[in-house]
């Protein structure tokens, strides 16, 4: 499998679905090869790609690979996935897509944990214990989103935001 040919084949399909190629890896697994395509993108709310978009792109990529010579004759398994929460944040767009999430930064001389409040140019602003602090992305050696089981209500995403709604009527 030629990774450059695979990239040329995959990128336009991902772009049609509002996705971008994060990484493409080919790994031998026994007699087969695993083709792992990791994608990213803004999604409609700017918080990352939607599962439906990844699924639709995966189906088109699978069909294109079946019709292409880029994979050769060897059997392969296709895996299309998003970056996920465990992947380090490396670019400004990664921070932007994780706005309001708790993140741990490793700097040259210390570690800092705070909530991403904004990204401007090549700097990220965190709320660190109630204080607004700005960090140049060039000074960050590693950054990882911290998984929160119960984030503060004002930063929750999803349908559980209305748990405390008292507007229901009793019969």
In this structure, what token pair is assigned to residue 87? 């992947």
Tens of pLDDT along the chain (171 residues) come to: 678 899 999 999 999 999 999 999 999 898 899 999 999 988 777 778 889 999 999 999 999 999 988 887 888 999 999 988 888 999 999 999 899 999 999 999 999 999 999 999 999 999 999 999 999 999 999 999 998 877 777 776 654 434 344 333 333
How far apart CA 115 and CA 140 sit, in angstroms, is 15
Domain with CATH 3.30.300.20 in the chain: 3-82
Question: What does 52-121 look like in DSSP terms, one character per residue?
Answer: HHHHHHHHHHHHHHHH-STT-SS-EEEEEEE--TTSPP-SHHHHHTTTT-EEEEEESS-EEEEEEEEEET
Phi, psi of 101 (to 5 degrees): -90, 155
Give the CATH architecture of domain 92-147.
Roll (2.30)
pTM of the model: 0.71
Question: What residue ranges of the chain are covered by domains with CATH 2.30.30.520?
Answer: 92-147
The whole-angstrom separation of Cα 33 and Cα 2 is 12
CA atoms within 13 A on the CB side of 138: 2
Q: Which fold has domain 3-82?
A: GMP Synthetase; Chain A, domain 3 (3.30.300)
């Amino acid at each position: 499998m030629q990774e450059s040919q695979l990239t040329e084949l995959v990128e336009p399909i991902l772009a049609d679905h509002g996705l971008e190629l994060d990484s493409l890896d080919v790994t031998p697994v026994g007699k087969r090869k695993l083709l792992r395509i990791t994608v990213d993108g803004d999604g409609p709310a700017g918080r990352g790609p939607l599962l439906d978009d990844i699924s639709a792109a995966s189906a088109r990529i699978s069909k294109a690979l079946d019709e292409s010579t880029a994979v050769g004759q060897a059997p392969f398994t296709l895996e299309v996935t998003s970056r996920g929460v465990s992947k380090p944040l490396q670019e400004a767009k990664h921070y932007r897509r994780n706005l309001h999430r708790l993140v741990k930064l490793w700097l040259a001389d210390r570690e800092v944990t705070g909530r991403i409040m904004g990204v401007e140019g090549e700097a990220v602003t965190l709320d660190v214990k109630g204080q607004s602090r700005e960090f140049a992305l060039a000074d960050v050696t590693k950054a990882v989103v911290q998984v929160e089981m119960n984030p503060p209500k004002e930063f929750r995403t999803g349908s559980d935001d209305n748990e405390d709604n008292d507007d229901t009527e009793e019969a």
